[in-house]
Structures are given as C-alpha cells and as structure tokens.
Amino acid sequence: MFCVRIHEHGGLDKLIFEEIPAPTVGPGDILIQIKATSLNHLDLWVRRGLPGVRFPLPIIPGVDAAGIVAKKGEGVFHVSIGDRVVVAQGISCGHCAHCLNGDDNLCKDYKLIGEHRDGADAEYISVPARNVIKLPSNVSFEAAAAGALVFLTAWQMLVDKANVQPGEDVLVIGASSGVGSAGIQIAKLRGARVIGVTSGEKKIAKAREIGCDEVIDRERQNMGDEVRRITGKRGVDVVFDHVGKAVWEDCIRSLTKGGRLVTCGATSGYDAVTDLRYVFYKQLQILGSTMGKKGDLIKILGFFEKGILKPVIDRVMPLKEVREGHRILEEGNQFGKIVMSV
C-alpha cells in the first residue's frame, strides 16, 4: 500500500512517501480502506518530536480515519465488507475497570493511532473491531475525518467535564481551530452564550457564522479587557482552552467566581504559570481532558446526521500533498480542519 511514514523527527522533508505491505488482519480486527483523514496538531508533534517523548519510529502519522471495510477478522459481526465507517481513534485494553465502565480513555493502556501505533496517512489501516463505527449515509468521509476527533474531544470538555449549563458564558480560545470550531457548536447546543477568540476579519466572520455571539480579535484587542466589557465585569463561567502558556494567565483571570477552566492541550507551551490566589479566592476549577469515550462518538455522529453539529472543513487536499498540509497547519491560517483525501 502507499503511505506516509516518519523515520526520524524534523521538518517537512521527514514525511516520507513509501510503499509497504498492507496491514494484516487478525481475529477481532478490521481492515479499512481509508478514504479520508485529517491533520491535527498531534501530527506536527509526531513529525517534529517532543522532548522526553518517544514515538515508535518509523510510524505512519494520522489520527483521523474514515473509509470502507475491506476485510474483517474472525469474530467480527457488527459491520460487513463494503460498509462505510469511521474509526474511534483511541485504542484501549477493553477489559480493565475503566474500559468496562465506559471510561475507555482513562485506560492505562490507552493508545492513539498515529501516535502510539501506525495511523491513517495510508491506503489501509487495521484496528480492533470495537473501534469501528458505521457512518450515517448522509455523512461524508471528509466530514467524518474532519469531525470525529475534535468533536469527541470538545464534547468531553464541555459536556462531561465543564457541564456547561443554559445561559452560561463560555470563552472559546482558538475559535478557528478544529477543536475550537467544535467547541463553539457544542457550547451553543448546550444553550450557552459563546465568546470566541481568534484573529483577522475572515476568521471573525466565520466564527460568528458557526455560532459565536461575540468574537475577540486577539491581535487587536486585549482578551481580558474584552471579556470584562462583554460580561459586565462578571467574567465567564467556562474557559475552553487548548493553547496553554500564551493565554493561560488571561484565561484564569477571565473566569467568574466558581468558574471552570477546561483544557485539552498546550500548543503554545505547557509550562504555564498559575497564580493560585485566583484559584482559591475565586473557587475556580481547572479540569484536564483528553479525547473522550468511544460511545459518545456514536451520539456525535447522530448530531452530524441531523445537521445539528457540522464539522468545519477549511480545505480538502490529496494525501500526496501532506507536506503542504503540515505547512499550512503550522502557519495557522486555516479555519477548521485540513482534510486529506486518500
């Protein structure tokens, strides 16, 4: 099969185009012919490398996968060859207490495709059958690849962790990102007033189009001052963050008493400084979140099917242009997801 592999960390030239044998399919596994994948910041980190983190090289990157069932192993009955499917990206042991309670993303053996094992930047991928979910007929491969990871992540952040309530104010950092665009829509679905943070007229207009009630231009406005103005000096109930160091102090200061900050990443740096006086005096909650429960992806696909939630796609590119896709994502000029067709 054709694939993209990383043999050593570094620049765009480390994304190597290769032909290797297709994955084997064991009992309980499914081989998927990939039709679409998408880029995430995780792909950039896998390529560049991270201090203190060891990735299993060589590795095929790509965390999102949507396609067609090409082959299935013994004991697989819930899908048939030719079915349109999407992959739940997190693979867990399936038998520990967390997995059996439905909290599979808390499993100590939890692994992501494209990070801990070969991913979706290829013609085929083999995964456990429990990670394969049928796609509704009106949800495209591109939409599934663009939406699965970011909506699952945002759903856990806002629904399970922060428990957003109708009428609350939610501040979405990085509103133009894939997870930010998902967070905006989920917060609106929960009945919140959404304040997005992005930059540039086009991104501001798009953020309003997908649900933001207010938008702060981070390049021209002070985020903290604008939050105080918009909320009448009260502050927001929830901050939705995945940026980290560059905005952390303003995020903490933007919360009202009893507010919740939920974070799933640190694209600007992880060594953020927290003034604990704000935390205990304002009785704040800081909530960490990674991925989400596989079962919630079925619920999210139902919202896609009904058009209630919509994956935001910046552009669709062929997989052979993956280096250009990485470059665009690094520059941060996109709004929503960059999808790679296979």
For 2-135+312-341, give the CATH class.
alpha beta
Ramachandran bin of 114, using left for φ above 0, alpha for ψ from -120 to 50, beta for the remaining angles: left
Tens digits of per-residue pLDDT, 323-340? 999 999 999 889 999 999
Tokens of 136: 């509704």
User: How many CB atoms within 10 Å of residue 334?
Assistant: 19
Tokens of 57: 């090289």
As a whole number of angstroms, the distance between CA 131 and CA 85 comes to: 10
Tokens of 49: 């490398």
When pLDDT is averaged across residues 212-237 and rounded to a whole number, the result is 96
As a whole number of angstroms, the distance between CA 301 and CA 298 comes to: 5
Percent of the chain with pLDDT over 90: 96
pLDDT at 226: 97
pLDDT at 267: 87
Q: Which amino acid is at 82?
A: G
Tens digits of per-residue pLDDT, 79-111? 999 999 999 999 999 999 999 999 999 999 999
pLDDT at 52: 87
The domain 152-288 having CATH identifier 3.40.630.30: the answer here is: no
Tens digits of per-residue pLDDT, 7-66? 999 999 999 999 999 999 999 999 999 999 999 999 999 999 998 899 999 999 999 999
When pLDDT is averaged across residues 194-200 and rounded to a whole number, the result is 96
Residue spans per domain, the chain: 2-135+312-341, 152-288
Closest CA to 71 of 126, 19, 122: 126
Contact between 176 and 206 under an 8 Å Cβ cutoff? The reply is yes
Contact between 170 and 196 under an 8 Å Cβ cutoff? The reply is no
pLDDT at 231: 98
**Helix/strand/coil percentages in the chain, nearest 5:** 30, 25, 40
